[in-house]
Structures are given as structure tokens and as C-alpha cells.
Structure 1
Amino acid sequence: MIQVRRGHERYPGGDAEAGIVSRHAFSFGPHFDPENLRFGALVACNEERLAAGAGFDEHPHRDTEIVTWVVEGELTHRDSAGHETTVRPGDLQRLSSAGGVRHVERNDGAGPLCFVQMWLTPQEAGGEPSYEVVRGIADGTPYAVPRAGALLHVRRLADGERTAVPDAARAYVHVVRGAVRLGDQRLEPGDAARITDAEGLELRGLAAAECLVWEMGPEPAYG
């Protein structure tokens, strides 16, 4: 089964006066929707746009795997475990909040910042926080988030190029840029497809495209 959610259907959020514009794919904050709480391990897929100098002040997380993909600009990350990094387009950031961590996310650059941030529920609660940045992740190289039992595939497709959607209990496709075709559906930036029991499916590039594709098991027992 394929369920397509369009970018314009996302829940609005953020604080425009503070230079933050957010678009949420799942129930988030004041936009509570009991029918849209999660898909597999994925509980958030947020598109964030931060003006120069804007950011999220220090705030806590626990028992969440946070994966961030920068689309444009530079993201400054600082956390209570002592990590301070700048994440750029093509870099993949993962923060495993585990038993608890606090962090700051800011646009300290001169231009606009756009990033996609995805939250996944771990299979077990607690543990020690961890942090990683993969610089310039290669196209098609799967990135494992073992605590959530999930793999992320970054795919960049030229016009007419095809790639298989992983055969999995749950697959989630988020279009970052360009356009792709999945079955009889055209997907454009901000659109997403939630696929249950994926088998024999493929994405076809309709214009130079970049997609984030999650490969996941069924709903996790924890959470």
C-alpha cells in the first residue's frame, strides 16, 4: 500500500517573527492528530527554514534518534555532551539522545538555512547519548540507525534514472528536491510516500532529484 502526503498538507509551525518556518509531516506540538502519530519507527519529518541568526535555543531530548539532512546553508549544532559542529549540504548528522541530552541548533551563517530533521523511536529506552556526522555521504550508501532498526538511503537521480525502493515492512520516501515518479504518482519537493510491505517498487527521476528513503521494520514494540 502506498499513501502519498503532499508538501502543502504539512502542519505549519515555527516562529516567523523569530525567523523560523517549520513544516511537520506528523502530528507535532499543537497540531495533534491521533491518526498521524508515526509510520514505522518514524515519528517526525520536519522541514525547517531558519533565517540568518535564527535558531532553536537549548532544549532537551530523550529516547529519540534524531537524523538531520542539510539542504541549504550551514547548521551549527552544540550539545550538553560537548559536541560542537557545523553541518553542511551533503552531510548527515545523527544525535542519539538515549537517556537524555540537551542541544542548540542555529543558523550562524550569513545566508538562509534549510534542513530536514527526522525523529525515530528506539527499540529500547535509556542508554548513553551518542553523536555522529558523516561528511559528504555517498549516493546510495545506506546509513544504519541500529537503535531504531532502520536504514536511510540517500538517492540522487538524474532525469530517467531509476532506483529500487527497499523491500521492507515500512518504507518512507521524502523528496528533497527535483521530482520523481513512484507508481502512477508524481512526487515533488516536500512530498512523501508511506509504503507498507514494499515489494518490487522503484523511483524514477523526472528531473534532477534528491530523495531520502527510510527502510524500516514494523511498528516497534517500544514507544
Structure 2
Amino acid sequence: MKIRNTSLARYTMLLLGAVFFIGGCATTGLDRAEKTSNSIRDVDSEIRKMIVEIDATTASLEALIVPGKTDLKEPFDSYSKNLKNLDKEGTKVLKRMDEMKASSTAYFSEWEKQGDVFTNAEIRELSEQRRSKLAETYARVPAAGAGIRGSYNAYITDLKEIQKYLSNDLTPKGIEGITPVAQKSVQEAEALKSSLGPVITALDEIKAELYSGKK
């Protein structure tokens, strides 16, 4: 059957688009599907960029607290630059995750609401099966990401306070004093990266469901 060999991403958008066409709003379904699909790519891309920035910030922090350094300004400036980039990327990730949750909630809510418009029982059943399957898969992202906002905010706050402390005392003694806190932040970075792993896995599952063409 040709419809079953069509790309699942395209078919899903066409299916929901058909629902809105029948309901008198031809483009809304396709627009929602495209917006939701784009939000997945955005979240995935930003999380991967965030991990790169976490690694860069961690490396510069570790370089800054190496004992015996005489020139502290250069490693401090490097740390400050990487911290700024991480802060920017982390803010994007949290925003993208919120956007994905909102767009997917609206997407599946409208799909369910309009699902009864099909007069063909087979198509109606297929629509509900696809909606349920995709909704379940999408729900894994916020489930996997539970607690990330709190962990990230605590982590970035510590990094900023380390920067602020050293901006007032960028001396060997200042470095020595802040080192235990900095080392703890390095450990927090690894924990944060580990917590992002399940989110990436959940996003990969969504992409496989949408784009693999497999049942």
C-alpha cells in the first residue's frame, strides 16, 4: 500500500493536514507539524552545542586552577569567555525545550480533537495509532529532561560566582582558596552532561520514528 511506504515524517504532517483541511483550516495542521518537527531539530542541535561549551568551560577552569601559574589573566580571560558562551547556549537549550513541549502539546491536542472527522474507519484508526505512538515518544523528552533546569542553574551560578570571586582576587592565593569549589564544579559538569544523555537518546528515538521510514 503506497501510503505505508511514504516517509513517516511527511505522512504524519499530511495526515494532520488532512484533518484540518476537512475541518476547514487546510494549512494549520501542516504548519503545526512542521513547527513541532523544527523544534525537535532545534533542541537536539542546541543540546549538542551546549555539551561542547560545557567541555570548553571545564577545560579552561581546570587550566586556571593549575598551581604555580604566574600569568593568571590569560587563563582567567579564557574561562570568562567560555563561561559567557556556555551561559548563552544553556539559556537557548532551556528555551528550546520549553518551545518543544508547548508546540508538541498543541500539536497532539489538535490532532486528537480533530481525529474523528475521518469517515473511513481504517484511516481514523491509523490516525489514532500514529498520534498515540508519536505522543508517547515525544513525552520521553521532558521525562528524560526532568531536573535539568535546576541542575544547570545551580551549575552555572557556581561558575559565575567563581568568576566573580577571582575577578576580585586573581592571585595565587585566590586560586588556591577557590580550587575546592572549582573542582566541585568540574564534577557537576560531568553530572550535567550525563543527565543530558537520556534527552539526546529520547530525541534520537523521535527522529528515528519520524524519519527512518520503518514501522
The verdict on a shared fold, with TM-score over 0.5 as the criterion, is: no
Q: Answer with 1 or 2: which has the greater Rg.
A: 2
Instruction: Report the TM-score, using the length of structure 2 for normalisation.
Output: 0.21
More helix by percentage:
2
Higher relative contact order at CA 8 Å, sep ≥6: structure 1 or structure 2?
2
Instruction: Report the TM-score, using the length of structure 1 for normalisation.
Output: 0.20
